[in-house]
Structure 1
Amino acid sequence: MMETPLIDVEKSYKANLGSFVGWITPLDFGDPLSECRDVRSKVGVFDVSHMGRILIKGSKAYEFLQKLVTKDLSKLRPGEMGGPTLILNEVGGIKDDVMIYKLSDYEWLMVCNAVNREKDINWMLNVKSKLGFSNDDVIVEDLTTNSVLIAVQGPKSRDVLESLGVEGLKDLKLLNFVTNVEVGTAKVFLLSRSGWTGEEVRSYGFELWADIPNGVEVYKTLISSGVRPCG
């Protein structure tokens, strides 16, 4: 079993731990009903670091992804997310549903389901030569175990992040993101306006990518600011 990078700090907040698709992760923090209510009416923070995070880069990264997933990525601009979209097998069967983030034509990020992370990476590594791409054309790198993914969800999400010094959130559109953001004294590599806590809530939510030390700091800072940890 794998553990999310936040597991030790989550234990200090009395997390009830359990297993989920091969990961030890918080199921709740003692009061799941109150956690749900806070996310619906206020704000909560989730550790979703079990989700697969993959970097696809290289001179032919765009061409490779355009063949790999069902969504037309040609209309995406840097700072925009595409998806959910599907990775298909050779006969059109669904392998996984993923989110795509465009950093540039030559650098993209993907979030996939935790249970499919290794399968998706192996599929990309195996299929790229069949699609005519060399190892120099496309590089696939697993970022999952050396980074943290945190979801801040609920109607008060923006208020909390703004109180910690994050600017420009009012103008950040749904499924858009910014990079290199400071949250309090921590540095976040990517902050997106996104989330999966329900249609009424997700438009208020944000997801944050960071390296492990900064991710731990952001998580603790959010909770110190009154955000309820949720499982």
Structure 2
Amino acid sequence: MSSALKQTPLHAVHIESRAKMVDFGGWDMPVAYGSQLEEHHAVRQDAGMFDVSHMLNIDISGADAEAFLKRLLANDVSKLSIPGKALYSCMLNPEGGVIDDLIVYFFSSDSWRAVVNAGTAEKDLAWMQQVAESEKFDVTLDARRDLAMVAVQGPNARAKLWATRPAWESATGALSPFTGAVVADDVLVARTGYTGEDGFEIVLPVDQVVALWRDLEQNGVRPCGLGARDTLRLEAGMNLYGQEMDEQVNPLISALAWTVSLKDPERRFIGRDALEAAVVDRCLVGIKLLERGMMRGHMKVQTSLGEGELTSGSMSPTMGTSIGMARVPVGVQPGDAVQVEVRGKWLPAEVVKMPFVRNGKIVA
């Protein structure tokens, strides 16, 4: 292992648990603790937890915080008025490409939080600072590396967290999806996730995370690695930055048009001009392989309207077949027959509506 890799506050616990570690966006992260398949099924059927402390929480405060975010993000933060409410959005460059996808939380008009991806965190922060300074917004950006983050996901995730931290139940029991509550000093519990299952993402001080992790494990929450996280998010039809979208790809061709708010003509967010002028000739669809084989990103897809390309592909542990996402010509519809080039052979596949799996059930 390169000594240059960054480590989360749970790193020693992963090593002690004999997790298989990999370089993920410059972080030394667990890919699996044993059986990736069993970790995937634990989240679909019971409860699993992920160390997501490599993601960065950025606190945004000041008199211009809301105006700054309305300029910075493609989605409109003025939709948020209840403290703790969250919004998913893309942060775009002037060409309409995705710098990152993130979640933003509203606490008050002058206090917000953005949670950004690990591999893009430094780039994101530099971009935010550049926009704030060049456009003279009165905001302060605070990168909170003093905070850790754990995702507890699965049908029994909420009950098992409450069994582990009973004092948190009263503040979090009634939370609707995409809403968080501050349950103690610097402890935010939000009903969000990246698996297609119910659960919480918990942000808490670095010095409290090891105890929480160990206590959750004592209460039957299974540690899960990045391998299961990827197959879970793919089954849930959720985009991964760097695969479904990046700085060269706009949200309109990444099945993320729903995250772009064009309602207010006065809100000229960065990238809006490019999106309004964009020719949308491709779309992102789900693909299910109809024969044995394994689809992977960048494989070619042949449709009746022309060629496309897989952005992600894997075996679906829940469905027992290979699934993927593909960018294909506009007009390709669920139910269409397509072919995927797998190891030099063209295999039959079908376009399906995403998600593939939700709340433990196959829906594709």
For normalisation by structure 1, the TM-score amounts to: 0.89
Range with greater deviation from structure 2 (162-171 or 189-198): 162-171
Corresponding position of 2:132: 128
The one-letter amino acid paired with 2:139 is V
For 1:105 and 1:225, how far apart are their aligned partners in 2?
38
For 2:220 and 2:6, how far apart are their aligned partners in 1?
29
For 2:79 and 2:73, how far apart are their aligned partners in 1?
14
Aligned residues: 217
CA shift for structure 1 position 152: 0.1
The one-letter amino acid paired with 2:157 is S
1:5 aligns with 2:9: yes
For 1:108 and 1:53, how far apart are their aligned partners in 2?
10
Give the alignment partner of residue 108 of structure 1, picking from 109, 112, 118: 112
Corresponding position of 1:150: 150
Seen in structure 2, the aligned counterparts of structure 1 residues 161 and 188 have a Cα distance that, compared at 3 Å, is farther
The one-letter amino acid paired with 1:81 is A
CA shift for structure 1 position 188: 6.1
Give the alignment partner of residue 187 of structure 2, picking from 181, 185, 189: 189
1:81 aligns with 2:86: yes
Contact kept? 1:188, 1:215, Cα under 8 Å: no
CA shift for structure 1 position 88: 1.4
Seen in structure 2, the aligned counterparts of structure 1 residues 170 and 180 have a Cα distance that, compared at 3 Å, is closer
Corresponding position of 2:122: 118
The one-letter amino acid paired with 2:222 is R
CA deviations over 1:52-107 (Å, ceiling 9, x no partner) = 22111111111111110011111202110011x11112333321111101111111
For 2:186 and 2:134, how far apart are their aligned partners in 1?
36
1:29 aligns with 2:29: no
1:141 aligns with 2:142: yes
1:48 aligns with 2:52: yes
Give the alignment partner of residue 167 of structure 1, picking from 166, 169, 176: 169
Corresponding position of 1:211: 205
Corresponding position of 1:221: 215
Contact kept? 1:96, 1:112, Cα under 8 Å: yes
1:180 aligns with 2:174: no
Range with greater deviation from structure 2 (85-94 or 6-15): 85-94
For 1:91 and 1:19, how far apart are their aligned partners in 2?
30
For 1:206 and 1:123, how far apart are their aligned partners in 2?
29
Instruction: Give SS of 1:3's match.
Output: coil
Contact kept? 1:195, 1:207, Cα under 8 Å: yes
The one-letter amino acid paired with 2:141 is V
Contact kept? 1:54, 1:109, Cα under 8 Å: yes
CA deviations over 1:179-204 (Å, ceiling 9, x no partner) = 024xxxxx761000010012xx1xx1
Unaligned runs of 5+ in 1: 182-186
Range with greater deviation from structure 2 (122-131 or 149-158): 122-131
Corresponding position of 1:184: none
CA shift for structure 1 position 18: 1.2
Instruction: Give SS of 1:115's match.
Output: coil
Contact kept? 1:42, 1:157, Cα under 8 Å: yes
Contact kept? 1:5, 1:147, Cα under 8 Å: no
Larger helix proportion, structure 1 or 2? 1
Higher Rg of the two aligned structures: 2
CA shift for structure 1 position 132: 2.7
Contact kept? 1:5, 1:49, Cα under 8 Å: yes
